[in-house]
Amino acid sequence: MTDAPHSPAGDVAPEAWSGVHRGPLRAGEWVRLVDGKGRKHNFELVPGKRFFSNKGHLEHDDLIGREEGFAVTSSVGGEYLVFRPLLSEFVVSMPRGAAVVYPKDSAQIVAMADIFPGAHVVEAGVGSGALTCSLLRAVGPYGRVSSYERREEFADVARRNVTQFFGGDHPAWKLTLGDLAEALPASGERCDRIILDMLAPWDCLDAAADALLPGGIVCAYVATTTQLSKFVEAVRVHGGFTEPAPWESLVRDWHVEGLAVRPGHKMIGHTAFLVTARRMAPGERAPLKKRRPAPGAYGPDYTGPRPPGVPEMPAED
Ligand SMILES: C[S@@+](CC[C@H](N)C(=O)[O-])C[C@H]1O[C@@H](n2cnc3c(N)ncnc32)[C@H](O)[C@@H]1O
C-alpha cells in the first residue's frame, strides 16, 4: 500500500546490500562476550586492541577471523562465549542519547503496527536509533524508513548506532533533522505507517493524519498514563481515525530446573504503553464507539481533549 514505487532512500542500491552478518568476525564489527555468571561485555573489534575485565585480558586479534560461537580463555583463565550480538542485545548495550524502545516493545510495534517488507514508515523521534533498526529490518532494503529527530546530538548518536549495527548505510533509511510537526508536511511524504515515540505525540497528530495513506496506521509509544489519556482522546477528537486501541506488554522469564519450574524473580515491570489507530479515507468518519463514559471520566477535573458528543460529567460523590 505504498503511494508510488520509489527509489531507495539511501546511497546504497538495495540489490547491492545484504545486511547480513555471517562468516568470520571482522575488524569493526561488534562482539558480545558472556562469562560463566552471565555477565555480558559488548565491544567493537579493533586490530591490536586488548579487552580487559576482572578476569584478565584478551587480544582482539585472537577473535578477529574466527567463526562466531566459540569459547575463549582470558590471560588468567576466565572463560567467555563469543557471538555477534543479536539486534535485541545490541540495542540495550549501544551508546544512548535518549531512552530506547525496548526489544519487547519493538516486537509489538512491528507486529501490531503491521510493518511489512517494502512499507514506507515514518518515525519520530529517532532518539538513539533502537526502534529504527527493527523498522529497517522489517521493511527490508526495498522499503523506506523516514526518521525525524529535532535534536542534532541525538540524530548523530542514532546515525552511528544504525550504521554500526548494519555495518554501513542502510539503503532504506533517511534521517531528517527537524520537528515532525513541521518537517513532515514540508517534505510532502506519504506513508503506510507512522510511529510516534516522543513526549507530546498529540502535537504531531495532524501532520501524521495528513501524511498517512487511507488504511495506514498511527502507533504511539508513551511512558505515562496521562500521556496515554491525552493521545487517545486527541485521536478521537481528530475524527479521521478508527477507535484507538491502547495496550502494554509484560514479559516474564522462567526458571526451569528439574522440578523447580517457576517465574523468574526479575522482570521489567513497565516500559511504556502502545496505542494504534487506522486512518480513514479522506472525508470519512469512523462511527463513534457507543460507550457510556465511566463515572467521573470527563468530570470537572478532566482537562484533556473531549471526544465529540461527550458532555462534562459530574464528579463522583
Ligand atoms: C524517547 S526518544 C526516542 C527513542 C527511539 N525511538 C529509540 O528507540 O531509540 C524521543 C526522541 O524524540 C525526539 N522528539 C520529541 N519530539 C519530537 C518532534 N516533535 N519531532 C522530532 N523529534 C522529536 C526527542 O528529541 C528524542 O530524541
Q: How far apart are CA 119 and CA 282, in angstroms?
A: 21
24 C-alpha vs ligand 1 centroid, how far in Å? 36
Q: What is the pTM of this model?
A: 0.91
The residue nearest atom 16 of ligand 1, judged by CA position, is 198
The tens digit of pLDDT for each residue in 115-140 reads: 999 999 999 999 999 999 999 999 99
Average pLDDT, the chain: 91
Comparing C-alpha atoms, which of 126, 259, 139, 250 is closest to residue 195?
126
Share of the chain above pLDDT 90, in %: 77
211 C-alpha vs ligand 1 centroid, how far in Å? 18
Is 287 a residue whose pLDDT tops 80? Answer: no
pLDDT band with cut points at 50, 70 and 90 for residue 289: low
101 C-alpha vs ligand 1 centroid, how far in Å? 11
Query: DSSP label at 168?
Result: S
With beta carbons less than 8 A apart as the criterion, state whether 119 and 3 touch: no
- DSSP string across 247-296: E------EEEETTEEEE-S-------EEEEEEBPPTT--PPPP---PPTT
206 C-alpha vs ligand 1 centroid, how far in Å? 17
Torsion angle (degrees, nearest 10) of CA 175, 100, 226, 148: 0
**Which residues does ligand 1 sit against, CB inside 6 Å?**
98-101, 124-125, 127-131, 148-151, 154, 179-181, 197-199, 204
Predicted pLDDT at 224: 97
The tens digit of pLDDT for each residue in 213-270 reads: 999 999 999 999 999 999 999 999 999 999 999 999 999 999 999 999 999 988 888 9
Prediction ipTM score: 0.99
Predicted pLDDT at 40: 93
20 C-alpha vs ligand 1 centroid, how far in Å? 27
The residue nearest atom 5 of ligand 1, judged by CA position, is 127
The residue nearest atom 10 of ligand 1, judged by CA position, is 198
pLDDT band with cut points at 50, 70 and 90 for residue 3: very low
With beta carbons less than 8 A apart as the criterion, state whether 131 and 123 touch: yes
